[in-house]
């Protein structure tokens, strides 16, 4: 790759101030430009420990709160103490959550950027968490999501079995059976929207069963 072909993300990561200045002078919008992953020059500077370039980008309109496709701000992936301080001094939110619900405290801790984690915690006036606690919390969240998905899959299989075995069952009877099944299997759910999930699943499931029954009897599905 020639210097002329070098893009702003690569130039920033490489610490090529002259090339970045040249690119920004030609097009100021490049400061907050995103690649296919939503990655910006600010993300590159913070991740590749380029505080001078990060400062230049901020002074030229760089948005310290900009997010990539995963919802990560530059502070989420920052691995340099000076860069982190620059971001915080210019308004970066130390409590911003990415798409996984993780804050910069959690992501920098996982990335073993310990000094950055300590700086953010000092900013928030909170103790530095233990990495194992963060990982265990994430594992619990993943496990809960998997359990919910598994139960919904079981429900789908159960419904189809009812259709096969009870083709003459009316919609109200099926609705009652589905309701009983869901309440038995999701009673211990801790999700705040559990009731909405149950209601929506019941409606969708019984609608599908009703249409299947109509098809079995040779009648067209009822319009809603």
**Containing domain of residue 153, as a range?**
133-217
Are 21 and 106 within one domain?
yes
pLDDT by position in tens, the chain (length 224) = 555 557 999 999 999 999 999 999 999 999 999 999 999 999 999 999 999 999 999 999 999 999 999 999 999 999 999 999 999 999 999 999 999 999 999 999 999 999 999 999 999 999 999 875 555 555 555 555 544 566 666 666 666 666 666 655 566 666 666 666 666 665 555 444 444 544 555 455 445 545 544 544 444 444 44
Domain boundary, last residue among 103, 129, 155:
129
Residue 222 lies in a domain: no
Residue 1 lies in a domain: no
Residue 223 lies in a domain: no
Total count of domains within the chain: 2
Match 């900013």 to its residue by tokens: 123
Check residue 219 and report its DSSP letter. P
Residues with Cβ within 8 Å of 10's Cβ and at least 6 positions away in sequence, in order, are 1
Are 13 and 121 within one domain?
yes
Whose CA is closest to 66, among 19, 113, 36, 98? 98
Q: What is the pLDDT of residue 178?
A: 66
Are 57 and 139 within one domain?
no
Domain boundary, last residue among 83, 109, 129:
129
Are 139 and 29 within one domain?
no
Residue 79 lies in a domain: yes
Are 125 and 101 within one domain?
yes
Domain boundary, last residue among 78, 98, 129:
129
Kindly report the CATH number assigned to the domain that includes residue 45: 1.25.40.20
Q: What is the pLDDT of residue 224?
A: 40
Match 């968490």 to its residue by tokens: 129
Question: What does the alpha-carbon distance between residue 61 and residue 153 come to, in Å, rounded to a whole number?
Answer: 48
The DSSP line for 42-110 is HHHHHHTT-HHHHHHHHHTT--TT---TTS--TTTT---HHHHHHHHHTT--TT---TTS--HHHHHHH
Q: What is the pLDDT of residue 61?
A: 98
């Amino acid at each position: 790759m020639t210097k002329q072909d070098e893009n702003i993300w690569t130039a920033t990561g490489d610490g090529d101030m002259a090339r970045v200045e040249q690119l920004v002078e030609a097009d100021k919008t490049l400061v907050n430009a995103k690649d296919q992953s939503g990655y910006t020059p600010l993300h590159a500077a913070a991740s590749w420990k380029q505080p001078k370039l990060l400062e230049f980008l901020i002074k030229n309109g760089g948005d310290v709160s900009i997010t990539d496709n995963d919802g990560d701000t530059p502070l989420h992936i920052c691995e340099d103490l000076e860069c982190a301080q620059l971001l915080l001094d210019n308004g970066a939110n130390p409590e911003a959550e990415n798409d996984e619900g993780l804050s910069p405290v959690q992501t920098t801790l996982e990335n073993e950027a310990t000094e950055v984690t300590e700086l953010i915690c000092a900013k928030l006036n909170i103790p530095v968490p233990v990495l194992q606690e963060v990982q265990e919390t994430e594992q619990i969240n993943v496990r809960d999501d998997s359990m919910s998905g598994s139960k919904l899959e079981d429900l789908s299989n159960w419904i189809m079995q009812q259709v096969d075995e009870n083709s003459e069952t009316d919609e109200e009877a099926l609705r009652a059976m589905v309701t009983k099944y869901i309440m038995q299997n999701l009673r211990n759910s801790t999700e705040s929207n559990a009731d909405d999930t149950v209601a929506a699943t019941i409606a969708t499931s019984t609608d599908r069963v009703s249409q299947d029954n109509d098809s079995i009897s040779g009648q067209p599905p009822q319009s809603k």
